[in-house]
Amino acid sequence: MVDRHGHFALREAERGTTALRRILIFTHTGRQEAITAALETCALLNSAGAIPVMRRKDQAAMAEAIGAAVPSVQVLGEDCQIEDVDLGVVLGGDGSVLRAAELVRASPMPLVGVNLGHVGFLAEAERSELASTVQALVNETYTVEERMTIEVKVWLDNVCLAETWALNEAAVEKANRERMVEVVIEVDGRPISTFGCDGVVMATPTGSTAYSFSAGGPVVWPDVAALIMVPISAHALFAKPLVISPDSIMAVEMLTRTDAGAVLWCDGRRTIELPPGARVEVTRSDRPVYMARLHTTPFSERLVNKFELPITGWRGPAKEESRRPATTALPVIGPGLQSVDPHYRDEPGLPMVGKPESQG
């Protein structure tokens, strides 16, 4: 985790200690619930002595929805610049957080999500906690953690067709429902396997609970430095999820023995068609996304809560003050125990039997 003050100490000094905090509000202006939450957030920020900031098109969409101007809101790019904003609050689901990350990735501004969707794994708070969340943001009682992102490049005949990034995943998918794509998966310049499949997901630890999870990939704790590769519905004996070094290069090559088309999706937002022979390379990016944390809840507990996992019967570790040594020493190997060898050295044809230690 990175302390929030470490990122913004210089900017605070430049602006002065009496400067009001600016909070950028992202919301889904096509949903009434999100508009209501955004208006409430603006009112809470104003009451707490902070300045709500919105993009011009979001402010205009909200004004049209409510039939009146949104009061006491600064417009990003007109009244202030993104460098003047301290933090972004995202009102919506994980898709809204991904959209916001796309907009602020060039700056070190952290984001905090308030869940208005279903699972909302990227969200830090729920709609019912909006008032306390705003107060925590104004009082700066939060920490910031870095979330790994990936750089994605598409090549064809040694020409780079596209270059983009992702916070969750880069997913190669078949373009036509009725036809599989033929691919070779590769790590660090060495082929791993070739097969027909519906696609391949290349994800970050943050994305391990998103598309990668649905495709059967492992859940990876966010602070683990790793990359993940997960085949989707592969017709192969070996098509297991792979957890790879963060310094490795993952690649998926589209084979040319069929003309089946494919498409690359990054975070479900940025897309490019992949012709036969195309190659998608994924590496760790040196530009992370910053997420504000209001709670110190362990990731394991968040996992249980978000997926409503059954934990009935769990007793947990003994408390340190309750632990005590055994009253008698327990032997590691006691008399009469036998080790098991596949066979005696001088009788290799015998089946596996128990061999007394005294005959060693």
Token digits of residue 234: 């592969």
In whole angstroms, what is the distance from residue 135 CA to residue 44 CA? 8
Q: Give, for 66, the enclosing helix (H) or strand (E).
A: helix 56-66
8 Å CB contact between 177 and 215: no
8 Å CB contact between 22 and 162: no
Binding region for NAD(+): 94-95, 99, 168-169, 179, 198, 209-214
- Nearest CA to 230 out of 256, 268, 204 is that of 204
Cα-to-chain-centroid distance, residue 294? 17
In whole angstroms, what is the distance from residue 144 CA to residue 110 CA? 7
Active-site residues, by number, are 94
Binding region: 94-95, 99, 168-169, 179, 198, 209-214
Helix (H/G/I), strand (E/B), else coil: 16: coil
In whole angstroms, what is the distance from residue 136 CA to residue 179 CA? 51
What is 192-249 written as a DSSP string?
EEEEEESEEEEE-TGGGGTHHHHTTPPP--TTS--EEEEEES-BSS----EEE-TTS-
Q: How many CA atoms lie within 13 A of 294 on its CB side?
A: 22
Token digits of residue 1: 């985790």
